[in-house]
Amino acid sequence: MTTKAIERRAIHGTGKQYWRRLGNEVRRDKWLYFLLLPGLIYFIVFKYLPMFGIVIAFENYVPFSGVLGSEWVGLKWFNSFFRFPAWLTYLKNTLILSLMNIVFFFPAPIILALLLNEMRKLRYKKLLQTFLYVPHFISIVIVVSITFVMFGPSGIVYKATQNLLGHAINYMGSPDTFRWMIIGQTIWKETGWGTIIFLAALTNVDTQLYEAAMVDGAGRLRRLWHITLPAIRSTIVLMLILRMGSMLDTGYDHLILMANPLNRSASQTLDVFVYQQGIQQGQFSYASAIGLMKSIVSVTLVLGSNKIAHLLGEQGLY
Amino acid sequence: MKKLVSVLLALLLALGMMSFASADEPLVVTVLLPEFTMDVDFVAENNPILDAIEEATGVRLQITWAPNENYGDILNTTMADKDLPMLIAATDARSPLIMNSARAGAFWDLTDYVSDAENYPNLALGDSQIYNNISVDGRVYGIYRTRNYPRGGAYYRSDIAKEVGFDKEVKTLDDLTELAEALAKYSDDTYALNICSYTAGTISFITVAYGAPNNWGVDENGNIYPAHLSPAYLEGLNWLRHLYEIGGIDPNFAQISTNDWNDIERTNKAFMRFDCLDNAYRQQEWFENNVEGVTETIFAQVGPLAKADGSITIWPQNPGFSGEILVTKSVKAEDMEKVMKFLDWCNSDAGISMLNLGVENVTYWMGDDGYRIDISKLPEEEYNEKSNAGKQFLHDLNQLNMGVSYHAVEPAMKLSESRQRFADLNVELAPYAVLDPCYPLVSQTNIDYGAQLSPIISDAAVQYIAGIIDEAGLRAAWADWAAQGGDAMTQEYNEAYHAAQQ
């Protein structure tokens, strides 16, 4: 028996005991549990019941025949995907985008939150925060349009770099720049919004620690390094684990909006594949199978990184 | 149990009486159609056109409009719903979802109806070759929507051509090259050819003109091969590449949205285009209405183009139809006759006029000369009022028009020079149209990875035209296509083609 299980038994008791105690607790705090009901119902109806629809990944699903009436094809769609010679390219594109996202986008809100935290004038800070949240509420369609206007062949940035470097950089029409543009747009749009959770964590830092450090002669950077960062470390780890869960998610709308014949090769990711098969081709089963595969990988990544966090002595997700 | 049975029987009886009592009520038919007119909402209540259709056929149409830009997506998600509209306009008759749904029994089998000349005379006038093209496993599930095939063509600004010293009729490919080179020289900020991110039409036009097949060809041994393996395909691409090199094409064409396509011509940025020819008279009319001093025809439509050896091949732009109208199982068996009679009426003289023009003095008006009035020539206020009526009541009802009887839309408008030229060219170009032999055939690879494979060819063509890759790069992309499933697709099409030939 593992130590964890022993611990659990010590707290909850064994089998029957456990259920009896739970029953007593429910009876005692019935109104509290009553408050839990709407949430529970929501999860059952909207999250758990639809999960049974996943069986269409193993069927040749035709909407007219329904989930129960469609032909069972087993692993056909999974085979189909791996027989497609370019599937590795799709995986590669997905992973490159995801890694770039983690390396370049993930730290951005942390850095910004730390900068905001150092601001002295409270009113100015609040105003600045409000402005930083705005891009999050702008639709990605608008963001892409703005990018086209600025970085497109007649845009100001395009012209400026052309004059500065003597040759043009085709920002919108090359697979090499495609990923940087995507990451850039993501940083522009989501960094401000991402600071919220870190700023919340920062408010929990005991101000007495700073005072003590100041008395000891610690400068700004020292305080940042020895007090602020350790204080939000667990939040950072938590966010990183959650990010791992969406490692294979690149979204498709952003990529499809940015793709054109010149840069399409970099835009082909698993999510785009699911969109092409599911919505454009109407192959719901095929798309579900790829989606299911992605989900399994995601769950594995979350569990794995949580485990690593535990090993490193962090609290992790749970 | 007995009680339950008797309750059910009573219910059935009540239902039966209800339907008996409502014998005079019109049959409500739900329809899903693509919508192009976005600026004015469709009026469903007290709509004189729907009233007239109801009077003529006893069918009351209840239409759901879906924006044309993402009609395919909407159609696919609609098909995921159990409660289908009774009639559906499928813009792509060969989509896997439509074919699978047909096999699963989502649609009524219309094979016997379309050959029943006695009861459905108009439907039986349809082209059996095209009915065959849209069939699934030999059964017909829809009525195709007729299009003139030779709609694909070239048109150019004849006034600009004259200015740069080109003043003759374009009759051969060499003439076209000469014209393009002349237009390219017009000015530094203008281009000869108007081309945007939708490059498929432009590329198909020029490669087929040089003698390449339309998507797929049949070689001398009777085997299917992909169009890009024909030497003429490369000749066509070289034509565009050459024009690009001499500055005749906007270097950023691949990033130009299709929404800006018309504006490029309207702002005099480019003077020639390979596209649906009907766009030529639309642009002509736009210039007449919006640019001072334009009275003559300035958009010249190019006729058949002879190759060096004198032969002529034309890209037809479509396979003679554009999608189909499907009858779903939401139509009850006892209503089938009525619904099919309705579809037959839609293909009659009266039906075709109704769906295209509407009702006289509501959505179209007759002049003293016996021709239908061209409302775009009326003073602005009157034009706005009249075009508004059309948008409100007729809206895009012509999307339901099938026209398999090939009756003309009557009463006709007095054709402008430009429209007359278009009508004449349709007849003149028809014999040279090159059709895609694989259109009715099914390839599993195409269904599984077609959406991923086809951009390999089309993107490589664009990169070749723009000088980003050379011929070796182009051939590498073709090899890539073949390795990733192109060869399998070719083989599957060959098997299907030979099976169909027997």
Cβ–Cβ gap B97/A281 under 8 Å: yes
Please report residues of A whose CB lies closer than 8 A to that of B104: 62, 64-65, 69-70
- The whole-angstrom separation of Cα B240 and Cα B179 is 13
Q: What is the pLDDT of residues B275-326, one digit of tens each?
A: 989 899 999 999 988 898 888 999 999 999 999 999 999 998 888 888 999 9
Minimum Cα–Cα distance from A79: chain B residue:
B448
Contact A60 B100 (CB under 8 A): yes
Which residue is closest to B73 within chain A, CA to CA? A279
Total Cβ atoms within 10 A of residue B78? 17
Cβ-defined contact of B255 to A264 (cutoff 8 Å) = no
- Only one residue has tokens 């009609």, namely B71
Q: How many CB pairs under 8 A join A and B?
A: 104
Contact list, B254 vs chain A (CB under 8 Å):
173, 260-262
Question: Hey, how many other C-beta atoms are within 10 angstroms of the C-beta on B421?
Answer: 22
Would you tell me how many other CB atoms lie within 10 Å of the CB of residue B372? 18
d(CA A89, CA A265): 9
Are the beta carbons of B142 and B110 closer than 8 angstroms?
yes
Provide the pLDDT confidence category of residue B60 given band limits of 50, 70 and 90.
Answer: very high
Q: What is the largest CA-CA distance in chain B?
A: 93
Q: What is the pLDDT of residues B480-496, one digit of tens each?
A: 999 999 999 999 999 99
Q: Which of residues 210-269 of A touch B (CB under 8 A)?
A: 260-262, 264-265, 268
Greater confidence (B252 vs B345) lies with B345
- From chain A, the residues in CB contact with B458 under 8 A are 261
Q: Which residues of chain A have a CB within 8 Å of the CB of B482?
A: none
The model's pTM is 0.79
Q: What is the token pair recorded at B490?
A: 């070719």
Cβ distance B485 to A84 less than 8 Å, yes or no, reads yes
8 Å CB contact between B212 and B183: no
- Written as six digits, the tokens of A233 are 């470390």
Closest-CA distance, A241 to chain B, in angstroms, reads 32
d(CA B217, CA B464): 22
- Amino acid A30 reads K
Q: What does the alpha-carbon distance between residue B211 and residue B339 come to, in Å, rounded to a whole number?
A: 44
A64 and B466 in contact by Cβ < 8 A?
no
Q: What is the DSSP annotation of B23-63?
A: TTSPEEEEEEEEE---SS----TT-HHHHHHHHHHSEEEEE
Give the DSSP per-residue string, A269-307: -HHHHHHIIIIIS--HHHHHHHHHHHHHHHHHHHHHHHH
CA distance B429 to B314: 7
Beta bridge partners of B64: B32
Distance from CA of A127 to the nearest CA of B (A): 38
Judge: B97–A283 Cβ closer than 8 Å, yes or no: yes
- Determine the pLDDT at residue B17: 47
Q: What percent of chain B has pLDDT over 70?
A: 95
Record: contact A173-B254, CB cut-off 8 A:
yes
Q: How far apart are CA B455 and CA B444, in angstroms?
A: 18
Beta strands B27-35 and B59-67, pairing class: parallel
> What burial letters (b/e) apply to B119-138, b meaning 16+ CB within 10 Å?
ebebbbbbeeebbebbbbee
Residue of B nearest to A152 (CA): B255
- Residue B19 has a pLDDT of 47
User: What is the band of B23 on the pLDDT scale with cuts at 50, 70, 90?
Assistant: low
State whether A280 and B72 contact (CB < 8 Å): yes
Least trusted range by pLDDT, from A125-129, B157-161, B178-182, B442-446: B442-446
Report which secondary-structure segment, H or E, holds B182: helix B173-184
The confidence score (pLDDT) of residue A1 equals 47
Q: What is the DSSP letter of B70?
A: G
Cβ <8 Å between B449 and A84: yes
Amino acid present at B416: S
A-chain residue closest to B100, CA distance: A62
Nearest chain A residue (CA) to B74:
A279
Quick one: tokens of A48?
Answer: 């758990």
Given an 8 Å threshold on Cβ–Cβ distance, is B104 in contact with A64? yes
Of B73, B106, B197, the CB nearest to A260: B197
- Tell me A104's DSSP state: I
Question: Are the beta carbons of A201 and A192 closer than 8 angstroms?
Answer: no
* Coil/strand/helix, residue A258: helix
Dist. CA B101–CA B192, nearest whole Å: 46
CB pair distance less than 8 Å for A261 and B197: yes
Q: Which residue of B104, B254, B466 is in closest CB contact with A65?
A: B104
DSSP secondary structure letter of residue A79:
H
CB contact under 8 A, A265 and B80: no
Within 8 A of A261 by CB-CB distance, chain B residues are 197, 199, 254, 455, 458-459, 462-463
Mutation pick from A56, A60, A62 vs chain B, by most beta carbons of B within 10 Å, is: A62
In which residue are the tokens 């052309």 written? A162
Closest CA to B341 of B105, B146, B28, B57: B57
B20 pLDDT band, cuts 50/70/90, is very low
Contact A153 B252 (CB under 8 A): yes
B95 CB neighbours in chain A (<8 A) are 281-282
B317: left (phi over 0), alpha (psi -120 to 50) or beta: left
Distance from CA of B107 to the nearest CA of A (A): 9
For B343-356, give one letter per residue: b (16+ CB within 10 A) or e. bbbbbbebbbbbbb
Q: How many CA atoms lie within 13 A of A15 on its CB side?
A: 1
Spatial CA neighbour of B398 closest among B33, B4, B31, B10? B33
Mean pLDDT, consecutive 10-residue stretches, chain A (318 aa), reads: 60 74 88 92 92 90 84 90 88 94 95 90 91 94 92 88 88 90 95 93 88 88 89 90 88 91 90 88 89 91 90 80
Distance between CA atoms of B421 and B300, rounded to whole angstroms? 9
Q: Give whole-number Cα distances, B38 to A188, B65, B87, B196, B336, in Å.
A: 33, 10, 22, 23, 33
Our CA dihedral for B262, B267, B270, B273, rounded to 10 degrees, sits at: 20
Q: Say if residues A316 and A238 touch (Cβ distance below 8 Å).
A: yes
B321 φ, ψ to 5°? -160, 165
Amino acid in the structure at residue A51 = M
Whole-angstrom Cα distance, residue B204 to residue B212?
A: 9
> Is the predicted pLDDT of residue B130 greater than 60, yes or no?
yes
Question: Do residue A282 and residue B468 have CB atoms under 8 angstroms apart?
Answer: no
**Confidence tier at B380 by pLDDT (50, 70, 90):** confident
> In terms of pLDDT, which residue wins out, A110 or B2?
A110
CA distance B459 to chain A (A): 5
C-alpha distances in angstroms, A264 versus A2, A92, A149, A175? 51, 14, 19, 7
C-alpha span between A208 and A210 (Å, rounded): 5
B-chain residues within 8 Å CB-CB of A86? 449, 452, 484
Q: Tell me if B485 and A85 make a contact (CB, 8 A cut-off).
A: yes
Contact between B496 and B441 (Cβ < 8 Å): yes
Measured between alpha carbons, how far is B441 from B495 in angstroms, rounded to an integer? Answer: 10
E strand or H helix at B193: strand B191-193
Interatomic CA distance for residues B268 and B286, integer angstroms: 13
Nearest-by-Cβ selection for B81 from A63, A65, A153: A63
What is the reported pLDDT for B376?
A: 79
**Predicted local distance difference test score (pLDDT) of residue B341:** 95
Number of H helices and E strands in chain B, helices first, is: 19, 11
Do the Cβ atoms of B254 and A279 come within 8 Å?
Answer: no
- Going by their DSSP bridges, the two strands A59-60 and B216-218 should be labelled as unpaired
Provide the percentage of residues in chain B whose pLDDT is more than 90: 65
Q: Give the number of other CB atoms < 10 A from CB of residue B189.
A: 8
Strand bridging mode B27-35 / B299-301: unpaired
Asked if B104 and A286 come within 8 Å (Cβ–Cβ), the reply is: no
Cis peptide before B231 (omega within 30 of 0): no
